[in-house]
Amino acid sequence: LHNNRMLGMSLASITETLEEMTNWIQAYLHLTDEELSILVRKFPKFLVLNPEENLEKFRYLRKTLALNDDSLRDLLLRMPGHFTYSEKTIEKKLAFYSKLLGESEAKRLVAESPYFMVNYGLEKRLKPRLEEVLKSGQKVQWDKSLVSRLATRTNEQWEEYGLGDASEKTIDKRVAFYSRLLGEREAKRLIMQSPYFVINYSLEWRL
């Protein structure tokens, strides 16, 4: 009976602590109940950090990425994994993108499209590809579109057309493939309406 009572008290204490934490996070980020539920499901670690730890990371992200209240909330709702990245990792990625776009544009890029921070490795993807571009002698006016090509293209796509648009040869190959399935007219309509059928899906490795 004594053990059951102690267990009940412990559970009550944990429940109270979690409730206090969720209330604090909701108030600080100005979250609706639905947004709070989404955030906790995506990143329950928020609930085991004390308010000081959360507050320190919130302030760091706000300052480093030049975020206001709304953009900080939106960033964490879309990609709460930012919370798990060390300051060193975040600053290295920002420094890389800043060399191409300038500091303010790099911050905007990461805030608006968090996957640029999370998904693409510096050492195995971004730096080698940039070095390849520089060695080729291309004069590149970097913008968000070209940085996106540098970061997001698969290895096969990068080998095939680097920073450039899909080549005519690539398009012709895709049209021929889809034409065998749909007929030439429907295949061309498919590609015109949904260009990602040319860009995203490999003939050799997927189709």
* pLDDT < 50 stretches in the chain: 2-9, 11
CA dist 25 and 157 (Å) reads 42
CA dist 14 and 182 (Å) reads 59
Tally of CB atoms within 10 A around 128: 13
* pLDDT at 29 (0 to 100): 86
* pLDDT at 195 (0 to 100): 59
* pLDDT at 9 (0 to 100): 40
* pLDDT at 6 (0 to 100): 43
Question: In angstroms, how far is CA 202 from the centroid of its own chain?
Answer: 22
Angle at CA 194, nearest 5°, toward 193 and 198? Answer: 125
CA dist 80 and 72 (Å) reads 10
* pLDDT at 95 (0 to 100): 94
* pLDDT at 105 (0 to 100): 93
* pLDDT at 138 (0 to 100): 82
- Using a cut of 0.95, tell me whether the model's pTM lies above it: no
* pLDDT at 13 (0 to 100): 54
* pLDDT at 129 (0 to 100): 94
Indicate if the alpha-carbon torsion angle 81, 86, 87, 89 is positive or negative: negative
